[in-house]
Structure 1
């Protein structure tokens, strides 16, 4: 199983960072039929072929995901899109 592990710095206060992560998750949910929910400061998300989380850390976000067989072939473009969205929002 292919994996994604991205750490992205941010300087937002915790509540604004949480709101931004929520907005990203909502967009992913609408676009890719992804389910998500908060567990403390970690937003877990999943859909067929993907299980992952976005952890809010002091000064950083950490995005981790396990990609199933079909999506593992698209790991590069998926990772690039995640980095683009993080740079845009944070």
Structure 2
């Protein structure tokens, strides 16, 4: 499982911009979600998103390339048997 972790301040700011909700509505929704601490425990890979959206996109692209590489290596290893 891949998890993207961000600060609550950052999450609220982005949701306000994206969904046009007020801060109280967002906080109430966030209370019903699994905590970052629990998500981290369940995750195989964690992307920390404390910077810009640009940085997040770059991290996602790096993760995608890494996973593709691992899949290709696994497939190549599997074919040798």
Is the shorter-chain TM-score for this pair beyond 0.5, marking a shared fold? no
- Give the TM-score of the pair, scaled to structure 2: 0.29
Name the structure with the higher helix share.
Answer: 2
Name the structure with the higher strand share.
Answer: 1
Larger CA Rg, structure 1 vs 2: 2
- Give the TM-score of the pair, scaled to structure 1: 0.27
